[in-house]
Amino acid sequence: MNAEIITPTAELAQRIGATPRGAREARHLTLRQLALWGFPQEGEVSLAAQQLVAELAANAVTHGRVSGRAFELRLLLLPEGTLRIEVSDARGDRELRYVSEPEGESGRGLILVTLLARAWGVARRDVGKTVWAEIGTG
Ligand SMILES: Nc1ncnc2c1ncn2[C@@H]1O[C@H](COP(=O)(O)OP(=O)(O)O)[C@@H](O)[C@H]1O
Ligand SMILES: [Mg+2]
């Protein structure tokens, strides 16, 4: 469930196979959709959105994967200059956590998300969860 009450001016919603290939597909889809919405490929918005989608989708297909279940990518262009990214996976029984050792091999993804996103969070759903992140579009 999502308590969002702001009506998006444009939206993409796509279910994608929960594989590494699916995670790459999510990033490419984001690049294409943002280009259609008028954001240059090498521009700040497109690059930040691609990085966020790459991290959230990678997490969905590794930590959030449930065998045989797809994940879902949604991109919402909200009024007043916000792009909202939502990545939903089927796994509801795991918390997201920061890994605190800065030298560790894992745990960088959510730190990057924190740095890139204006806000982000996790919302529970009936099945699984949605990890969302928002950036400004200027
Ligand atoms: N979609 C998800 N579902 C379940 N757990 C997650 C999800 N995303 C992140 N996590 C948990 O949060 C931790 C931190 O995520 P992240 O910073 O991306 O590090 P990494 O993916 O390298 O382990 C993960 O190791 C995992 O335990
Ligand atoms: Mg990760």
Are 100 and 83 in contact by the 8 Å Cβ rule? The answer is no
Q: Is 59 within a domain? A: yes
SS3 at position 130: strand
Q: What is the pLDDT of residues 52-75, one digit of tens each?
A: 999 999 999 999 999 999 999 999
Question: Which domain covers residue 75, as residue numbers?
Answer: 10-136
Are 73 and 12 in contact by the 8 Å Cβ rule? The answer is yes
Q: Is 1 within a domain? A: no
132: which residues sit within 8 A by CB, 6+ positions away?
A: 84, 85, 86, 87, 120, 121, 122, 123
Q: Is 3 within a domain? A: no
Q: What atom in ligand 1 is closest to the CA of residue 99?
A: 14
Query: Quick check: 2 pLDDT over 60?
Result: no
* CA nearest to 86, candidates 65, 108, 57: 57
Cβ density class 32-61: b for 16+ within 10 Å, e for less: ebbeebebeeeeebbbbbbbbbbbbbbbbb
Predicted TM-score of the model (pTM): 0.93
Pocket test for ligand 1, best of 63, 93, 111 (most atoms within 8 A of CB): 63
The DSSP 8-state label assigned to residue 80 in this structure reads T
Of all ligands present, the nearest one to the C-alpha of 112 is 1
Q: Is 82 within a domain? A: yes
Q: Is 86 within a domain? A: yes
Residue that the structure tokens 């959030």 belong to: 64
Q: What is the pLDDT of residues 80-111, one digit of tens each?
A: 899 999 999 999 977 787 666 666 777 889 99
Structurally, the chain folds into a number of domains equal to: 1
Q: What atom in ligand 1 is closest to the CA of residue 55?
A: 18
Which residue puts its alpha carbon closest to atom 2 of ligand 1? 64
> How many residues would you count in the chain?
138
**Which CATH number goes with the domain that contains 61?**
3.30.565.10
Q: Is 93 within a domain? A: yes
Q: Is 131 within a domain? A: yes
64 lines ligand 1 (CB under 6 A): yes
Q: Is 98 within a domain? A: yes
